[in-house]
Structure 1
Amino acid sequence: MNVRVFTSESEAAAACATLVSNAVREKPSLVLGLPTGRTPLNVYRELVALHQRGQLDFSRVTSFNLDEFLGLPPDDPGSFRAYMERHLFQHVNLSAERIHFLDGSAERAEQECARYDAQLAAAGGMDLLLLGIGPNGHVAFNEPDESLQALSHRARLSRETRQAVASFFGDDVSKVPLAALTLGMSALLQARRVILLAFGVGKAAAVTAMARGPITPRWPASFLQLHGNVEVWVDAEAGRGLDGSR
């Protein structure tokens, strides 16, 4: 696990966008795993800027988002699909047929999860996966538990996680769905390259536990220690518990 400490979140976001651009240039048919939340917003702004300058062509890229709130249709303003439309999809030339998303409004969650896993397998898995991390160590919506699930599944969201995403629901935790559909740990660990981004002191404990603590389902991100090609990109505050980051 390679840790890189940046002087600022904006510096890390620009570097991440450049990395994505270079990866697409090397492999125009790149399969890209995309997160949501506050952490990747600056990355998406940088990717849009590169595309608008003619430096990034998404026309052959395939994307898979990591999760979606259960019960929300794609056009719901609080859905992650709507988030991606606002911040990335509307502004770049990703082909609609190459955009993949879990459908939170599907009548049968288990069948929807199986469908999504099959689509990802048919695409050959993710070449490059961008990840955030929750304050409680969750990745995608794989929450701390006694054990973790390998495949896509319905996940009950912890109160801590619901509080972290309440800003997307008018800062009203009661409006945040109680559950979500998410890729499982197998898909994340099988991605060929992983870039995990974390910023701010609120992520410091999770980053330290992920990179330096024992591998445990109580900190799902700690399983990334088993991956052979993970880069952890943090600012000084998020990396304050790591050796050499002070």
Structure 2
Amino acid sequence: MNVRVFASEMEAAAACAAYVAAAVREKPALVLGLPIGRTPLNVYREMVVQHRRGELDFSRVTTFNLDEFLGLPPDDPGSFRAYMERHLFQHVNLARERIHFLDGSADRAERECARYDAQLAGAGGLDVLLLGIGPNGQVGCNEPGESLQAVSHRARLSRESRLAMASLFGDDVSKVPLAALTLGMGAILQARRVILLAFGVNKAAAVTAMVRGPLSTHCPASFLQLHGNVEVWVDFEAGRGLDGSR
């Protein structure tokens, strides 16, 4: 893992958007993996700014999002798809047919997950994957537990994760769905390049466990230690446990 500590979240977000823009210039038909949550918000804002400046062309880019709430249709205001529409998709020239998402309202979750894995494999896998990390070491909706799943699957969300997502539902955690569909660890670890972003003191323990700790299913992000091309970009607060990284 290549750890980089930034002076601020905004500095890291601008660097991440510039990294993606450079990757798209290098490979215009880039396959890009995208997260939701508070962490990537400024990255998406910076991407929109770069697009408007003519520095980031999404016309041939293909996207796959990491996850979606189980039971919510794409047009539900609380869905991850609606989040992406608000913060990125509506503001750039990404072709609609190149946007890929798990359908949380599908009748059969297992069949939907298998469809998504096949679609990603057909696209050749992820060239660049942007990730956040939960305070519990979660990546995507791969929660800590006794085991992890390699393939896309239905995941029960921890209360900690649901609290983090409550802003999508007016800060009412009782309205946050109990489960989600998510890419498995296999697709995450097979991405050719990964950038993991973490900001704030509440992420410090998870970042330290991911980078310095042993591989453990109780910190899913720790398995990124097995990946050969991972950038971990944090602010001072999130990186406070990584003394050797500065």
Matched, 1:126 2:119: no
SS at match of 2:33: strand
Matched, 1:214 2:219: no
Aligned-partner Cα distance in 2 for 1:160–1:89: 28
The AA in structure 1 aligned to 2:135 is P
What corresponds to 2:70 in structure 1? 70
**TM-score of the superposition, structure 1-length normalised?**
0.99
Matched, 1:236 2:236: yes
Number of aligned residue pairs: give it: 246
What corresponds to 2:113 in structure 1? 113
What corresponds to 1:14 in structure 2? 14
- Whether the 8 Å contact between 1:236 and 1:245 is mirrored in structure 2 is no
1:23-42: per-residue Cα shift (whole Å, max 9, x none)? 00000000000000000000
What corresponds to 1:158 in structure 2? 158
Displacement after TM superposition at 1:243 (Å): 2.4
The AA in structure 1 aligned to 2:6 is F
Matched, 1:194 2:190: no
Aligned-partner Cα distance in 1 for 2:114–2:237: 39
The AA in structure 1 aligned to 2:13 is A
What corresponds to 2:87 in structure 1? 87
After TM superposition, where is structure 1 displaced by more than 6 Å over at least 4 residues in a row? Answer: none
What corresponds to 2:59 in structure 1? 59
CA RMSD after TM alignment: 0.7
Structure 2 residue runs of 5 or longer lacking an equivalent are: none
1:130-151: per-residue Cα shift (whole Å, max 9, x none)? 0000000000000001000000
